[in-house]
Amino acid sequence: MRIFENINYEFIGRRKMGYVISGVLILVSLVSFAINGLELGIDFKGGREFVVETTSPLDVTTVRTALTDVLEFAPEVKTYQYNGAQQLLVRTVVDGDADVLRNQIIDTIGRTFPEVEPKIEKTYVVSANFAEDMKRGSIYSIIGSLLVIFVYILIRFEWRFGVGAVAALFHDVIITLGVFSLMQNILGFSLQIDQTIIAAFLTIVGYSLNDTVVVFDRIREYTGLFKSENYENVLNKSINNTLSRTVVTSGTTLLVVTVLFIFGGEVLRGFAFALIIGILIGTYSSVFVASPVVLELRLRAAGKRK
Amino acid sequence: MQGNGFKIFLTVFFFAITGYYLYPSVQSYFIAQDKSELVGEELATYEQENLTKIRNAQEKALKLGLDLQGGMHVTLEVRVEAMISELATDVDDLFTEVLAVASQQASETDNPIIDLFVTEFESRDASARLSRYFRNEEAGITRRSSNADVAAYLRLESDEAVDRAISIIRDRVDRYGVTEPSIQKQGTRRVIVELPGIDDPDRIRGLLRGTARLEFHLMIDPAENVRSLQRIIAYYDTGVDSTATGDDSVAEADTTLDINDLLDSEELTSGNELLDVMQPLGQGVMFGQVLESDTTAANTLLSNPVIAEMLPRGVSLMYTSSPVGTTADGEEVYALLGVRDDIELTGDVITDARVDFDQRTNVPEVTMVMNSEGSRTWARLTGANVGNNIAIVLDGVVYSYPNVLGRISGGRSNITNLESQAEAQDIVTVLKSGALPAPVEIVQESTVGASLGQASIDAGLKSVMFGLALVALFMIFYYRTGGSIADIALILNLIFILGILAGFGATLTLPGIAGIVLTIGMAVDANVLIFERVREEQSTGKTLKASMEGGYAKALSAIFDANITTFFVGVILYSFGLGPIQGFAVTLMAGILSSMFTAIIFTRILMDYMVVEKKLTVSFG
pLDDT tier at B239, thresholds 50, 70, 90: low
In whole angstroms, what is the distance from residue A97 CA to residue B185 CA?
A: 24
A102 and A222 share one domain: no
* Residue at a domain's end among A109, A126, A143: A126
Paired with A52 in beta bridges are A88, A120
* Average pLDDT of the residues in B202-218: 85
How do the residues of chain A divide into helix, strand and coil, expressed in percent and rounded to 5? Answer: 70, 10, 20
Contacts of B514 in chain A (CB under 8 A): 260, 264, 268, 271-272
User: Would residue A8 count as lying in a domain?
Assistant: no
Q: What is the tens place of the pLDDT at every residue in B370-381? A: 988 889 999 999
Q: Which of A126, A146, A162 is at the close of a domain?
A: A126
Among chain B residues, CA nearest to A86: B452
In terms of domains, do A115 and A28 share one? no
Asked if the Cβ–Cβ distance from A251 to B474 is below 8 Å, we say yes
Query: Are residues A282 and A207 part of one domain?
Result: yes
Contact assignment for A51 to B452 by CB distance below 8 Å: yes
Q: B322 or B496: which carries more pLDDT confidence?
A: B496
Kindly state whether residue A6 falls inside one of the protein's structural domains.
no
Domain endpoint, select from A95, A126, A157: A126
Q: Do A130 and B205 touch (CB under 8 A)?
A: no
Q: Could you give all domains of chain B from N- to C-terminal order, each with its CATH number?
A: 75-209 (no CATH), 214-442 (3.30.1360.200), 449-613 (1.20.1640.10)
Whether the per-residue pLDDT at A20 is higher than 90: the answer is yes
Cβ contact (<8 Å) for B463 and A264?
yes
Residues of chain B contacting A149 with CB distance shorter than 8 Å: 565, 568-569
- Is B467 in CB contact (< 8 Å) with chain A? yes
Q: Which CATH number goes with the domain that contains A57?
A: 3.30.70.3400
B577 to A267: CB separation less than 8 angstroms, yes or no:
no
Chain B residues with CB-CB distance to A144 below 8 A: 572, 575-576
Residues of chain B with Cβ-Cβ distance to A266 below 8 Å are none
Region A205-213: mean pLDDT is: 85
**How confident is the model over B534-549, as pLDDT tens digits?**
988 988 889 988 999 9
**Contact call for A121 and B536, based on CB within 8 A:** no
pLDDT value at B258 more than 80: no
pLDDT confidence of residue B217: 92
pLDDT of residue B249: 40
What single-letter DSSP state applies at residue B420?
-
Interface list for B 100-129 with A (CB within 8 A) = 107-108, 110
Q: What is the pLDDT of residue B579?
A: 63
Nearest-by-Cβ selection for B471 from A145, A196, A255? A255
Q: Are residues A186 and A161 in the same domain?
A: yes
Min CA distance, B218 vs chain A (Å)?
31
| pLDDT, mean of residues B410-419 | 81
For B300-352, the pLDDT digits (tens) are: 888 888 888 888 888 889 998 888 888 887 788 899 999 998 888 888 888 88
How deeply is B468 buried, as exposed, middle or buried, from its count of CB atoms within 10 A (0-12, 13-18, 19+)?
buried
- Asked if residue A234 is part of any domain, the answer here is yes
What's the average model confidence in pLDDT over B491-497?
93
Nearest residue, CB atoms, A202 vs list B77, B448, B573: B573
Whether residue A91 is found in the same domain as residue A154: no
- Sign of the CA dihedral B545, B546, B549, B554? negative
Q: Which of residues 305-324 of B touch A (CB under 8 A)?
A: none
- Is any Cβ of chain A less than 8 angstroms from the Cβ of B510? yes
Q: Report yes or no on A2 lying in a domain.
A: no
Query: Are B572 and A202 spatial neighbours (Cβ–Cβ below 8 Å)?
Result: yes
Same domain, A158 and A281: yes
Task: Give yes or no for B4 touching A (CB within 8 A).
Answer: no
Assess if residue A5 is contained within a domain: no
Please, where are the H alpha helices in B303-418? 305-310, 372-384
What integer pLDDT is reported at residue B275 of this predicted model? 83
Chain A environment of B462 (Cβ under 8 Å)? 263
Give me the pLDDT at residue A19, please. Answer: 93
Percentages of chain B per state (helix, strand, coil), in multiples of 5:
60, 15, 25
CB contact under 8 A, A214 and B529: yes
Question: What number is the average pLDDT over the span B48-59?
Answer: 82
Q: Is the same domain home to A37 and A52?
A: no
Q: How many domains does chain A have?
A: 2
In this structure, the answer to whether residues A162 and A227 fall within a common structural domain is yes
- With an 8 Å Cβ cutoff, are A209 and B467 in contact? no
- Does A211 reside within a domain? yes
- Give the mean pLDDT of B145-162: 86
| Residue B263 pLDDT exceeds 60 | no
Q: Is B539 part of the contact surface with chain A (CB cutoff 8 Å)? A: yes
Domain holding A75, by residue range, is 47-126
Cα separation, A196 vs A200, in Å, equals: 6
Distance separating alpha carbons of residues A75 and A90, to the nearest angstrom: 6
Q: Do B562 and A209 touch (CB under 8 A)?
A: yes
**pLDDT tens digits along A110-119:** 888 888 888 8
Which CATH number covers residue A250? 1.20.1640.10
Q: Looking only at Cα atoms, what is the longest distance across chain B? A: 117
Closest to B499 in 3D by CA, of B173, B11, B2, B153: B11
Kindly list the residues from chain A whose CB atom is less than 8 angstroms away from the CB atom of residue B66.
Answer: none
In this predicted structure, what is the pLDDT of residue B238? 63
Task: Give domain status of residue A249, yes or no.
Answer: yes
Q: What's the CA gap between A182 and A186, in Å, rounded?
A: 8
A118 and A56, same domain (yes or no): yes
Residues A197, A73 share a domain:
no
Residues A78, A209 within the same domain: no
Q: Is the pLDDT of residue A108 over 70?
A: yes
Minimal C-alpha gap between A305 and chain B (Å): 32
Task: Please answer yes or no on whether B456 and A265 come within 8 Å at the CB atom.
Answer: yes
For the ranges A210-224, A286-300, B195-209, B489-503, the lowest mean pLDDT is seen at B195-209
**Yes or no, beta carbons of B449 and A149 under 8 Å apart:** no
Cβ B562–A83 below 8 Å, yes or no?
no
Chain A neighbors of B458, CB-CB under 8 A: 83
- The mean-pLDDT minimum among A227-236, B97-106, B257-266, B336-345 falls in B257-266
Pick the residue with more confidence: B603 or A188?
B603
Q: How many CB atoms lie within 10 A of CB B106?
A: 20
Q: How many helices (H) and strands (E) does chain B have?
A: 22, 17
| 8 A C-beta contact, residue B45 and residue B77 | no
Q: What is the mean pLDDT of chain B?
A: 84
Instruction: Select from A127, A148, A248 the Cβ nearest to the Cβ of B572.
Output: A148
Least confident of A79-93, B338-352, B443-457, B583-597: A79-93
What are B338's strand-pairing partners? B317
**pLDDT above 90 coverage of chain B, percent:** 15
The Cα–Cα gap between B44 and B41 comes to 5
Confidence of residue B474 (pLDDT cuts 50, 70, 90): very high
Residues A56-103: tens digit of each pLDDT: 888 888 888 888 888 778 888 888 877 777 888 888 877 777 777 888
Confidence of residue B468 (pLDDT cuts 50, 70, 90): very high
* Whole-number pLDDT of residue B558: 84
CA separation, residue B286 to residues B219, B259, B384 (Å): 10, 13, 21
- Asked whether B324 and B279 are in contact (CB, 8 A), the reply is no
Taking an 8 Å cut-off on Cβ atoms, the answer to whether B477 and A210 are in contact is no
Average pLDDT over residues B434-456: 86
Q: Considering only alpha carbons, which residue of chain A is nearest residue B187? A: A133
Q: Do B463 and A202 touch (CB under 8 A)?
A: no
> Is the pLDDT assigned to residue A21 strictly greater than 90?
yes
A207 → closest Cβ in B514, B566, B575: B566
Residue A74 domain-assigned? yes
- Looking at chain B from residue 205 to 264, which residues have their Cβ under 8 Å from any Cβ of chain A? 205
B residues 270..299 contacting A (CB < 8 A): none
pLDDT at A261 (0 to 100): 93
In this complex, is the C-beta atom of B445 within 8 Å of any C-beta atom belonging to chain A?
yes
Pair (A118, A163) in one structural domain: no
When pLDDT is cut at 50, 70 and 90, the band that residue B259 belongs to is: very low
Contact of A285 with A18, CB cutoff 8 Å: no
What is the spatial distance between Cα B303 and Cα A219, in angstroms, rounded to a whole number? 74
The minimum CA-CA distance between A153 and chain B, rounded to whole Å, is 9
